[in-house]
Every structure is written in structure tokens, then in C-alpha cells.
Chains A and B, each alone.
Chain A
Amino acid sequence: SAVISQKPSRDICQRGTSLTIQCQVDSQVTMMFWYRQQPGQSLTLIATANQGSEATYESGFVIDKFPISRPNLTFSTLTVSNMSPEDSSIYLCSVEEVGGGNQPQHFGDGTRLSIL
């Protein structure tokens, strides 16, 4: 499966600031996704990162708060803007490889974000 590098692995930020998380894959993939996992909870899809076009956001998530870029088939970024303590969470990048509908999503190691 694809090797996914996500950074930073963790950060502590001041409220009101923004942080950009990077996701790099070692092979071209069809789909890239960004999830949030709040403490003690399961994964919630934030958006699908589309190559060369605007990301597709899920209900409850907006581009102004979580701008996403995907300039090519192997790289994407997620920015968490104007952070507040409620944004403290793990943010995970996932990819789905080329090969048809039976391919699972594989996850990066996540970014553990704490906002003070």
C-alpha cells in the first residue's frame, strides 16, 4: 500500500492562529481525504481533496475554516484557520489508491493538535 507522510505529527498552537498540515504520498492516488478525530470519538470526514479543483466539504465544514489544497496527485494540505480550543483534535489524511471500488483507504499517522 501507499506510504503516507503527514506533518507535523503534533503541535500546540495559540488561539486565533492558523496551522497548515501536509500530506505526502509516495505514489499517485485517486482520492485523498481529510478527517478529524476528536478525543474519544471516531473519525469524521471533513472534505475530499480534489486534484486541480476546489475540495468537496461535508456538512458542518466550510472552506474558510478548513482551506484545502491539492496541487497534484501525491500532495495535499489542510489548514485549520483561526483556531479555538474546540479545534483540538487529531487530523488525519487518508488516500485511496487506483484500482477500483474495492480499494481501502489508508491513513497517515495523523497530526495531534492542541489549542491553548
Chain B
Amino acid sequence: GQNIDQPTEMTATEGAIVQINCTYQTSGFNGLFWYQQHAGEAPTFLSYNVLDGLEEKGRFSSFLSRSKGYSYLLLKELQMKDSASYLCAVRDGDYKLSFGAGTTVTVRA
């Protein structure tokens, strides 16, 4: 089966930077996705990486190293509304998405 690991919880201060790491072992690789999920809501798409390197999208950036099976999501200038669960998901060789357990980020004033 697929194996996707990310930290369970992280806490940071408003205005700070937080980096959420994700390591994966999957059967084939066709891209890595990051989703944000607020409590009681559906996941919303944040970013996508399929090639090595950094993708920047406003305050959010995502990095991928395929050789290391590693990605991170960087959240800059944290705001209270960024308190949510962040899900790392890998699309495997069959084009199915497997999700990590999610990282709950709490932003404190």
C-alpha cells in the first residue's frame, strides 16, 4: 500500500512561517498535492508539484524532491484563518490519490 507521513500537529504565531513536511512511498508517482481543510468543511486544493523544485503561490509555497520522496508546504505571514488541517496527497501510478493523516496547524495571536 501507499505510505504518506506528515506531522500530526504544529503551532505557530500569527505573522510567522510554518513548514509542514511530508514523506511518501508509493507505487508510482504522478504528482503531489496539498489541500487545506477547515474543521467541518471539505478539503480545498492549495498546490500541485510533479517536478522537483519550488512552486510559489502567494503566501503558500510547496517543494518537491522526487528522489527523496519528500515535499513540504510553507506557509508565510501566518494569519488566524490559516488554522486548519493540511493534507498531503500523492497521485500514484494508477492515478489514484492517497492522503496523509493531515497536519493540524494552530495559529496563535
Contact = CB atoms under 8 A, between A and B. Distances in A.
Q: Classify chain B's interface size.
A: 20 to 34
A53 interface: no
A42 B45 contact: no
B99 A104 contact: no
B42 A45 contact: no
A43 B31 contact: no
A110 B37 CA distance: 12
Nearest to A93: B42
Contacts of A7: none
B42 A108 contact: yes
Given A42-B87, A42-B102, A105 B97 contact: yes
A41 to B, nearest CB: 7
Given A101-B31, A101-B95, A104-B33, A43 B87 contact: yes
B101 interface: yes
Interface in A53-101: 92, 101
Nearest to B95: A101
A49 B69 CA distance: 29
Contacts of B18: none
Given A43-B87, A48-B96, A107 B42 contact: yes
Contacts of B97: 33, 45, 105
Interface string B68-109: 000000000000000000010101000111111110000000
A42 B99 contact: yes
B95 A109 contact: no
Given A48-B96, A101-B95, A102-B48, A43 B33 contact: no
Nearest to B6: A42
A89 to B, nearest CB: 14
Contact of B101 (A33, A42, A108): A42
A106 interface: yes
B31 A102 contact: yes
Given A31-B95, A110-B42, 4 more contacts: A43-B89, A44-B99, A102-B48, A106-B45
Closest 5 pairs between A and B when the two form their complex, measured CB to CB = A107-B42, A104-B45, A42-B99, A43-B99, A42-B101
